[in-house]
Structure 1
Amino acid sequence: MATKEKSVGCQKNKNKTFEVCSINSSAVEEKLFGRADKEVEEDDDGPVVFICGKCRLPVGDSMSWDGSEDEQNQIKLKRVTNNVIIGKDTRFFELNKRSVCLVLDLICRSCHSVLGMVYTSTPRNLDHKRSTFCLSVANIDSYVLGSGAQMLAAEGPKEQLVTVEYRHSVEQQLTEMKLLVVSMAQRLEQIEAGLKKGCDEA
């Protein structure tokens, strides 16, 4: 994702409107927050935009990051865009035999794909899940801001690179033009001399 870009634990999908990648939630979290013993690199990638895996509509960004759930292959965001609709039908979701939750689906406004879920009722040990939007990594992609590499050429006529061959060509053309000017000047002098002689004889 930039001319020299770092992946966010992902592989690029080519021939897309956006340059997108599949997400590794642990890699994203490490990239966003790093570790105390690591220095922040000056050329680190910019914020990550999360988009619907089907229609590429933006659904959230890393500025709202709230962690990841590797066991469920989910990322958690504090906020999402208006492109995400919270479903109305509550359903049971069983994390394991002792952890049955009630959830609402998160749906893409454009293509109606299910992007993840919101927990509405959980056992006490899972209460932290109820305050976030949990997006399924399998159903979203990501785009790193500032990762574009393609640029249009500068406007105006193309400038010729000054090479030895180009300089030699220009010098040769100038020499030919000088010879032509000298030849025309000599011819003009001859014509003027002829006219003057004719006038004197008359």
Structure 2
Amino acid sequence: MAAMAKHRQKTEDTSFDDSTRDLTAVEDFSHQGDDDEDGDGPVVFICGKCKLPVGDSLSWAGSEDGQNQIHLKRVTDNVLVGKESHLYEPTKRSRCLIVDLSCRGCHSSLGMVYVSTPKNLDYKRFTFCFNVADIDSYVLGSANQMVAAEGPKEQPVTLEYRGIVEQQLTEMKTLAVSMAQRLEEIEAGLQEGCDES
């Protein structure tokens, strides 16, 4: 009995052993379900082809580097679960029955659900296992582009600027008055020409 408990403990420890992780794409996803210390929000996982949302990090169940997979407890209605199970052999000693996962939008393959597993793979049973290569992710709150609050750059009104504007207005006023006088002279000349004839 003690030997069996020790074997079970050893199996569980190796199943979730973080010390054997190498830096792969899975590691990018592996911390998304945790409350990150740097304040990142939840992650939305999307189909790699048509970008439909398939799940989020609030239903995180784990990850596996060896197979480049992430595991979720729940998924959206955009994930189609296959009806037919088939044999899958991840290693020579492990035979499993799985059903395929595909995207409702583009019907591309996304991963699998393990329906029957040997004891050492029980932690995968009935979780949605997504292939990291087939999905993308978006961290909520990661957008940083903003529209500037102020309008176009306006020149501040200084005494110098005000003086220039007043000078231009005076010049325009003078020009308008001289044009009006000239127009009166032309009209008067035309009137005299009409009266003489």
- Scaled by the length of structure 1, what TM-score is found? 0.65
Separation (CA, whole Å) in 2 of partners of 1:58 and 1:79: 12
Residue 131 of structure 1 aligns to a residue in which SS? Answer: coil
- Letter of the 1:33 counterpart: D
Match of 2:165 in 1: 173
Cα shift readout 1:9-42 (whole Å, capped 9, x = no counterpart)? xxxxxxxxxxxxxx822233235437xxxx923x
Post-superposition shift, 1:128? Answer: 1.2
Match of 2:153 in 1: 160
Match of 2:26 in 1: 25
Post-superposition shift, 1:181? Answer: 7.3
Which 5+ residue runs of structure 1 have no aligned equivalent? 1-22, 185-202
- Scaled by the length of structure 2, what TM-score is found? 0.67
Separation (CA, whole Å) in 1 of partners of 2:123 and 2:132: 19
- Higher relative contact order structure (alpha carbons within 8 Å, sequence separation ≥ 6): 1
Is 1:50 matched up with 2:50? no
Separation (CA, whole Å) in 1 of partners of 2:74 and 2:54: 9
Separation (CA, whole Å) in 1 of partners of 2:108 and 2:140: 24
Post-superposition shift, 1:152? Answer: 4.2
- Letter of the 2:164 counterpart: Q
* Structure with higher helix content: 2
Is 1:94 matched up with 2:89? yes
Separation (CA, whole Å) in 2 of partners of 1:28 and 1:92: 27
**Correspondence 1:1-202 to 2 at 5 A:** 24-33=25-34, 40-41=37-38, 44-152=39-147, 158-162=151-155, 168-177=160-169
Distance 1:170 1:45, change over 3 A: farther
Distance 1:100 1:167, change over 3 A: farther
Separation (CA, whole Å) in 2 of partners of 1:30 and 1:103: 26
Matched pairs, number = 154
Cα shift readout 1:127-161 (whole Å, capped 9, x = no counterpart)? 11113100000110111112223444559xx3433
Q: Which has the larger radius of gyration?
A: 2
Which 5+ residue runs of structure 2 have no aligned equivalent? 1-23, 177-197
Separation (CA, whole Å) in 2 of partners of 1:131 and 1:140: 19
Post-superposition shift, 1:176? Answer: 3.9
Distance 1:61 1:167, change over 3 A: farther
